[in-house]
Amino acid sequence: MISKSLKNTIIVRLLVPIFCFLLIETALSYFVTLHYVDKTYDRWLLNSAHSLEQEIKITDQGISVELSANALEVFSWDDLDKTYFKIVAEKQGELAGDPALPRLEFAELDGSKPVFFNTLIYDEPVRVVSVRVKNQTIAEKVTIYVAETLHKRQAMMIDILLADLIPQLLLTVLVSLYLFKNIKIILLPFHKLADQIAQRSPHDLSPMADVHVFTEVRTLTDTINQLLSRLASAIATQQRFIANAAHQLRTPLAGLKLQAEVAQREKNLDTMQSSLRQMQNSADRVSHLITQLLILASSEPIEGSQRLKRLDLHSLVRDVCMEWVPKALEKQLDLSFDGSNQPVWIKGDAVLLKELLSNLIDNAISYGRVNGNIVVSLIYDEHHLCLLVEDDGEGIPEVEQDRIFERFYRIQGSPGDGCGLGLAIVKEIADLHQAKIQISNRLDGKGTVIKVTFKNKIINS
């Protein structure tokens, strides 16, 4: 894709209207100037024609024109243009003047006003005025034609156009130079911002300075700073996660190594069995921890990476409960599911929602009492949906309820060999689905109730 230059775009969008206006104004000036130049010199032509009326005489022989050589020279004199004339009577024909000068038919003439027109004489353009002689002593119609070449008109029109056009051209040039210079200054903050980003270390995620910049540029720097803040927060979270994971992995791996060394020193196979069982337990703990870490990493929300799909939550919860029934029976616990037989359609990630419920059931089994009960419920209306996991174990102290969702956190003195990631995974998955998770003890004080509320409306089947 071809990238566009902001500088060139601004210049083009500013200068093109200016040049268009200049062209339109020049065209209008041309026609207006032509009109007034013609009007000025047409008046001179008309006066010349009227001056010839005085030279028309009536004699016994008819109509005659008495024009001396001096008078003719004065009439025709001009340093730029040539002047032609012709006097024509309706019956006698041409009385005087240049025969090459075209004339109009008497039927075409309107005697009440002069007629102006353009024509050619000796292949040269001329402007002609035709005037009917208004003399009652003359019995027939007499018309005077006076023509003049267009040199003075053209010279005057060029002078006027240049006087109008040159200042506008100079103004356009000055405006263009001003734009070229100042647009570069205006775009300078963007170049400084680019240089500031290019010179930064990949580890420097501190906010960018936005002093002495335009409001529009500050909007860009604010957006970049918000991105840097989110990126710094995500990297800090990952670093804490890696540090905690490394710490948690170190303990079972150290135990595994120690038991392997003990097993190597044993000569008797019977006494070696104890070390091998410890090695197996450590390996199981490492495997479980790695599995939990991978699930936790995949459940962390990354913009654009999670695509929730339509699924039946009722069917999903029922299937997960059935999968955990054997382990519950193994621990002498009764696991039941309380929900209607109607499908409950929502948008979610089936794999992660199964992991959420599995962790809740696993916790309930691990910390439940012998011969106890675990109840999984699905309660919903047309706006909200609640998933509840309830057990009748020892419960969780209120002072610990806010911390149990932290990664690698375990309540002191808790039984089992958990790694403290189960409820952290539940929290991450709930956040990904924009669900709210709440934990409380039962009213009788024996047991724990974990409630996951999905805020999104249920999708009709």
pLDDT in tens, 357-391: 888 888 888 877 888 889 999 888 777 789 999 88
Q: Where are the alpha helices (H) located in 187-214, listed in sequence order?
A: 188-198
Q: Which two three-digit tokens encode residue 380?
A: 């919903």
Q: Which residue has the higher pLDDT, 303 or 20?
A: 20
Smallest CA-to-CA distance from 146 within 237, 48, 248 is with: 48
CATH of domain 215-299: 1.10.287.130
CATH of domain 6-158: 3.30.450
Q: Which two three-digit tokens encode residue 326?
A: 């054997």
Confidence of residue 25 (pLDDT cuts 50, 70, 90): confident
pLDDT higher than 60, residue 67: yes
d(CA 196, CA 212): 14
pLDDT higher than 60, residue 417: no
Length of the chain: 461
Q: Which two three-digit tokens encode residue 372?
A: 């106890």
What stretch(es) of the chain map to CATH 3.30.450? 6-158
* 265 Cβ contact partners less than 8 Å away, ≥ 6 residues apart: none
Q: Which residue has the higher pLDDT, 300 or 102?
A: 102
Q: Which residue has the higher pLDDT, 114 or 457?
A: 114
Q: Over the Cα atoms of the chain, what is R_g?
A: 52
d(CA 317, CA 313): 6
Superfamily grouping for domain 309-454 = Histidine kinase-like ATPase, C-terminal domain (3.30.565.10)
Confidence of residue 316 (pLDDT cuts 50, 70, 90): very high
Question: Chain-wide mean pLDDT for the chain?
Answer: 78
Alpha carbon separation from 209 to 192, 221, 224, 235, 292 (Å, rounded):
11, 8, 11, 21, 41
pLDDT higher than 60, residue 414: no
What stretch(es) of the chain map to CATH 1.10.287.130? 215-299
- Decide: 299 and 429 in contact? Cβ < 8 Å: yes
Highest mean pLDDT, choosing among 127-136, 239-248, 420-429: 127-136
- Decide: 149 and 125 in contact? Cβ < 8 Å: yes
Confidence of residue 304 (pLDDT cuts 50, 70, 90): very low
Q: What is the pLDDT of residues 169-226, one digit of tens each?
A: 888 888 888 888 888 887 787 788 788 788 888 777 888 777 666 777 778 888 888 8
What stretch(es) of the chain map to CATH 3.30.565.10? 309-454
Confidence of residue 83 (pLDDT cuts 50, 70, 90): confident
The CA angle 213-215-217, to the nearest 5 degrees, is: 60
Distance of CA 267 to the CA centre of its chain: 75
